[in-house]
Amino acid sequence: MPEQFHRPVRRPPAAFDNLVGAADPAEKSRVAHATASALLRRARQDETGETTERLIAFTAEHGIDDIAELWSLAPSRSLPGALWRLYLLQIAIRSDSATAALLYERGRVELRSADAAIAGAPTPASPDELTALVDTILRGVFQGDFSVALDRAAAYCRVQASGATHTADDYESTEPGRASDLTRRALRLSGYADDLSAAAGLWRSGALT
């Protein structure tokens, strides 16, 4: 799996220690939550949608900057933690959309659930269509129903996880290294799905902070 899936940062987060004290986790957490809330509020207050489009275009081209890297330290089931996972999905798809499309289609065929319908990708989905899907989900985060966007992202992760699991089985006897990579990818995506679903529920109850 591309390294970007883990930490899609195009420049080192050297500014962190200047932004908040390196030995002050509480302050880092406060800044992470404050910046996530401010970003979401600013995008949602812009009825033209221009702020949302700039956010999507910027991260697609440049990756995640220092502030978003700070979100990676936040609890997985928090506002900054959820936004971090959404941006990871965007970068992961854009960095290798062909593999994403292959795994998504395999998962769609194998998974006996409504997740593919909830995610909302075409059937079958091309690499470009999957890229468009994740951008659409991000637009929903900043302009639409936030909990619905999180549910769609969670469903996408479950479909991808299923595809990665079944593809790993295919490679187990011939390419065990590749099979292991795919299995780790499936586990990571399953974890993201659980976190994003939980975050959606917290948002609906007014408890996602």
pLDDT at 196: 97
Which pLDDT value is given to residue 56? Answer: 72
Residue 1 pLDDT more than 50?
A: no
Distance from C-alpha of 146 to C-alpha of 201, rounded to nearest angstrom: 10
Is 174's pLDDT higher than 80? yes
As a whole number, mean pLDDT of residues 180-209 equals: 96
C-alpha 66/C-alpha 79 separation (Å) is 17
Q: Which residue has the higher pLDDT, 170 or 24?
A: 170
Lowest mean pLDDT across 34-38, 100-104, 165-169, 200-204: 34-38
Phi, psi (deg, nearest 5) at residue 113: -160, 180
Residue type (1 letter), 27? E
Does 3 fall in a domain?
A: no
63 token code pair:
């990756």
Total tally of structural domains belonging to the chain: 1
Higher-confidence position of 94 and 69? 94
Contact 153, 89 (CB under 8 A): yes
The 10 Å Cβ neighbour count of residue 22 is 11
What would the mean pLDDT of 197-207 be, rounded to a whole number? 96
- Whether residue 82 is predicted with pLDDT greater than 90 in this model: the reply is yes
Residue 201 has pLDDT above 90, yes or no: yes
- Would you state the pLDDT for residue 114? 96
14 pLDDT higher than 90: no
Going by C-beta distance under 8 Å and a sequence separation of 6 or more, which residues neighbour residue 181?
1
pLDDT at residue 67 in the model: 66
What is the structure's pLDDT at 128?
95
Q: Which of these, 160, 156, 141, lies nearest to 200 by C-alpha position?
A: 141
Residue 38 domain-assigned?
yes
Residue 25 lies inside a defined structural domain of this protein: yes
Domain span at residue 28 reads 16-204
Residue 5 located in a structural domain: no
**Residue 1 within a domain:** no
**Span 103-126, mean pLDDT?**
95
Sequence length of the chain is 209
Residue 38 tokens read as: 């401010």
Q: Give the model confidence (pLDDT) of 141-162 as tens digits.
A: 888 899 999 999 999 999 999 9
Task: Report yes or no on 67 lying in a domain.
Answer: yes
Is residue 181 a part of any domain in this protein?
Answer: yes
Mean model confidence pLDDT for the chain = 84
